[in-house]
Structure 1
Amino acid sequence: MKLFKSSILAVLALGAALTSCNETSDVTYVPGAQDPGAFFASNIETAIVVAEDATSAEIQINRTSDLITEANISAVDDSKLFTIPGTVVFDEGKGVAPLTITFDPNKLELGKSYPVKLSIANASNYGQGVCEFVIIRGAAAVTEKFGEGTGSYTFGNYWKGTMTDVPVYKTYNPNNPDKDVVITFKNVLPPTEEVPPTDITIHIADMTPDEDGNVNISVEPVYVLEDDEGKVYYTDAYTWLVNAGRPDLAEKFKGLSTYNVNTGLFTIMSVYYLPERGATASYGQKYEYLQMDGFPNYEVSVTYSGFLSKPDGSYQALATVVSGEDVATVRAGLVFGNNVELLIKNLTGEDDSKFVEFEGGIEKEVRLSFEEAGTYTLGAVTFDAKGEAQMLDYTTFEVAFSNDNADWTSLGNTDFGDGWILSAYLKPEYTVLDALYPVEIQRNKKDANLYRLIEPWGSNSPLAELNKNPRKRNLEFSIGSKAIFITPQEAGFTGEKGDFTVCNLEGYLKAANPEASETAIFAVLEKNGTEATSIVNDEEQGMYIEVPACMFDLNNAGELYTWNNNPHGYIFMPDATTNVKAKVTARNIARPAKGSMLKSIRRVKAHRVNVTNLHIPVLTNKVKAYSLKAK
Structure 2
Amino acid sequence: MKSLKIFILAAVAIVAGLFAACSDDDFKAGPAVSGTQVYFPESIAAEYSIGDEVSEIAIPVMRVVGTEAQTVAVLADDKSGLFSIPASVSFAAGEKKAELLMTFDRTKLEDGKEYPVSFLLNDEENTTPYGNSQLAITVTPWPWELLGTGLFRDDWLSSMYNGNSVEIEVQIHKHKSREGVYMIEDMYGWPFLTEFFGGSQADIESKVGLNYTPTNIVLNASDPNAVFFSRQFSGITDKDPDYGDYEIATLKDGEGTLVDGVVTFPIQGLGLFCLKGGQYANKNGNFRILLPGAEIVDYSLAVEYDSMRVDGDGVTSAVLTFNYGADVTGIGYVVVPSNISAEERATLAAAIADGSAKDLNKIENLDGSGSVTEKFVLAGSGAHTVVAVANDKNGQPLTADFVAINFFFPGSGGAAAPECEVQAQLGLPSALVPENAAKYPDQNNLAYLVKGSELQSVRTYLNKTAVIQGAGMTPEQIVTNYGNNISADQLSAANGTGFANIFIELDPDTSYTLIVKATNVYGKSKVVTAECSTAEVDYKGELVIGGYKMSYTATAEGQEPKLFENVFTVKAASAESVTDFIVTDFAYEDGGTWSGKYDADAATFTLTSSDLGKWYKLNETTAYCINAYVSGTDDAANAVVLTVDAATKQLKGLQNDIVVALGSVEGSSITGIIGAMGIYYADGTTIAPYTKPEAGTSALSAKMQSVGHSAVKVPYRSVADMRLAGRRNLLKSNAVSAGEGLTCPVRTLSVKPERCEPSPKTFGRVATFKLVDSSARLAK
Please say whether Structure 1 and Structure 2 have the same fold, judged by a TM-score greater than 0.5: no
Task: Quickly name the TM-score band, shorter chain normalised.
Answer: 0.3 to 0.5
Structure 2 length-normalised TM: 0.34
State the structure with bigger RCO (CA 8 A, min sep 6), 1 or 2: 2
